């Protein structure tokens, strides 16, 4: 029987063993959905603590409740290991490792390369490799294909390779890994067919595209779309500030137009492992092809100005109270990059805190999801939120609009509020 037919058979009877490399915000939810569909999963991670936690049934990812993980681990449907040589055991390898930027804002594909090297050592006929990490168009074919077509193995015949971007939105109660349509681009038609068969029981909807490059670009278009539109409304916030017009009122009224307008809201700037980073992967690739992606550059510029804009609003507010920033008590509400999650990666709240500290403010913060901050020289512990901590602050900055906070108390107790999310206006 050919490798392709054997894999299609294993997809049908759920006997395929899935390997997931990287058990973070993307990999762990994916592993759980695969196991829930009836397959068995062997998860791989470099961190002993992550592996030990998962094997004990404990989830370290907010979107995966421990109550969901424990029974799957108990039933032997999910196991984790740091031993990459066990990649030889699995039929499918889904790669979910980080794709950050270097200090010079170039793609850092070192994690993808390390995962690719681990695969190279173990690859055998009958295996499928799916890259899920967000990356620039060409990565799957340029970096992974040569690491898989080794020892005479041929992609599309002996082994199979595809790109399928993970679109998970942490903290989103409606759209999760399973019900968010899954885009797949195979290197050959057989690659696409095999991955579709394996992913069909896991996801509600599959969206096949004609190549890995198309699938890689889908993800970059989506996140560039968000970055550009957020950049537009952030610029509108600065425009409205100069015109003394309420930007939230303008946006809410514009959003009543039933066609041709999509609502985006201003804020403290971009955060997380996706929107501030992914568009730069495309910009980098296009620079190499002598093309400047202007929208990406401008949106990046505007969005990264936002923390400084809001810190200026704090300074202006304190000035009205005849106080300098230096020595003033500023309480920052929220450290996570968006509401109801615990992720502080690239969080603009951290930039706001850093800028305030640089100007000599005495900064404290509250975040129910982030008890401690140890980022780039910022070492703080979340304070309790109540009239006792709010009233003494010279200014309160709402950086993240977590749903569970008592905004009525905040509005009543605070002397002055800089609300980057319009959290008080929503009530």
Ligand X SMILES: NC(=O)c1ccc[n+]([C@@H]2O[C@H](COP(=O)([O-])OP(=O)(O)OC[C@H]3O[C@@H](n4cnc5c(N)ncnc54)[C@H](O)[C@@H]3O)[C@@H](O)[C@H]2O)c1
Binding residues (CB under 6 A) for ligand X: these are 21-27, 44-47, 50, 96-99, 111, 114-115, 133-134, 166-168, 170, 272-274
DSSP 162: E
Distance (Å, whole) CA 370 – CA 375: 12
Supply the minimum distance, in Å, between the C-beta of residue 104 and ligand X: 18
Q: Are 208 and 192 contacting, i.e. CB atoms less than 8 angstroms apart?
A: yes
Alpha helices in 275-395 (DSSP H): 278-288, 294-320, 348-358, 387-390
Task: CB nearer to ligand X: give 44 or 365.
Answer: 44
Supply the minimum distance, in Å, between the C-beta of residue 84 and ligand X: 7
Task: CB nearer to ligand X: give 51 or 355.
Answer: 51
Task: CB nearer to ligand X: give 97 or 236.
Answer: 97
Residue number closest to ligand X, CB atom: 24
Report the interhelical angle of 348-358 vs 294-320 (nearest 10°).
50
Write down the catalytic residue from 96, 191, 240, 274.
Answer: 274
Task: Name the nearest CA neighbour of 300 among 284, 274, 264, 276.
Answer: 276
Sign of the C-alpha dihedral, residues 417, 421, 422, 423?
A: negative
DSSP 364: E
3-state SS class at 282 = helix
Task: CB nearer to ligand X: give 156 or 170.
Answer: 170
Supply the minimum distance, in Å, between the C-beta of residue 274 and ligand X: 5
Distance (Å, whole) CA 79 – CA 10: 19
Q: Are 6 and 16 contacting, i.e. CB atoms less than 8 angstroms apart?
A: no
Supply the minimum distance, in Å, between the C-beta of residue 147 and ligand X: 13
Task: CB nearer to ligand X: give 47 or 105.
Answer: 47
Alpha helices in 80-186 (DSSP H): 110-122, 139, 145-148
Report the largest interatomic distance among the alpha carbons of the chain, rounded to a whole angstrom.
Answer: 81
Known catalytic residue at 240:
no
Supply the minimum distance, in Å, between the C-beta of residue 71 and ligand X: 22
Active site residues: 274
């Amino acid at each position: 029987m050919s490798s392709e037919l054997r894999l299609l058979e294993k997809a049908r009877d759920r006997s395929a063993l899935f390997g997931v490399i990287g058990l973070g915000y993307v990999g762990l939810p994916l592993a759980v959905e695969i196991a829930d569909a009836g397959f068995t999963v062997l998860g791989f991670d470099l961190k002993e603590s992550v592996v030990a936690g998962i094997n004990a049934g404990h989830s370290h990812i907010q979107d995966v409740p421990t109550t969901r993980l424990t029974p799957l681990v108990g039933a032997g449907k999910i196991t984790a290991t740091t031993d990459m040589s066990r990649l030889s055991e699995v039929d499918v390898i889904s790669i979910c490792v980080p794709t950050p930027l270097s200090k010079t804002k170039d793609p850092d594909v070192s994690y993808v390369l390390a995962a690719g090297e681990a695969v190279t050592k173990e690859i055998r006929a009958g295996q499928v490799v799916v890259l899920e990490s967000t990356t620039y168009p060409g990565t799957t074919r340029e970096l992974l294909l040569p690491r898989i077509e080794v020892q005479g193995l041929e992609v599309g015949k002996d082994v199979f390779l595809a790109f399928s971007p993970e679109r998970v939105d942490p903290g989103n109660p409606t759209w999760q890994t399973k019900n968010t349509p899954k885009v797949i681009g195979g290197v050959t038609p057989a690659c696409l067919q095999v991955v579709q068969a394996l992913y069909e029981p896991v996801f509600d909807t599959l969206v096949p595209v004609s190549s890995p490059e198309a699938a890689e670009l889908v993800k970059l278009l989506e996140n560039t779309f968000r970055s550009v539109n957020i950049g537009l409304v952030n610029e509108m916030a600065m425009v409205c500030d100069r015109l003394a017009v309420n930007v939230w009122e303008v946006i809410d009224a514009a959003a009543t137009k039933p066609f041709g307008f999509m609502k985006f809201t201003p804020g403290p700037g971009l955060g997380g492992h996706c929107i501030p980073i992914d568009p730069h992967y495309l910009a980098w690739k296009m620079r190499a092809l002598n093309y400047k992606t202007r929208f990406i550059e401008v949106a990046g510029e505007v969005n990264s100005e936002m923390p400084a804009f809001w810190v200026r609003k704090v300074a202006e507010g304190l000035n009205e109270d005849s106080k300098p920033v230096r020595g003033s008590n500023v309480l920052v509400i929220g450290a996570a990059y968006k509401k109801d999650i615990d992720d502080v990666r690239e969080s603009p709240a951290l930039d706001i805190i850093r800028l305030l500290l640089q100007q000599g403010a005495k900064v404290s913060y509250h975040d129910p999801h982030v008890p401690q901050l140890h980022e780039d020289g910022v070492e703080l512990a979340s304070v309790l939120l109540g009239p006792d901590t709010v009233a003494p602050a010279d200014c309160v900055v709402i950086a993240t609009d977590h749903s569970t906070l008592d905004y009525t108390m905040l509005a009543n107790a605070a002397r002055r509020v800089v609300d980057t999310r319009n959290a008080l206006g929503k009530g």
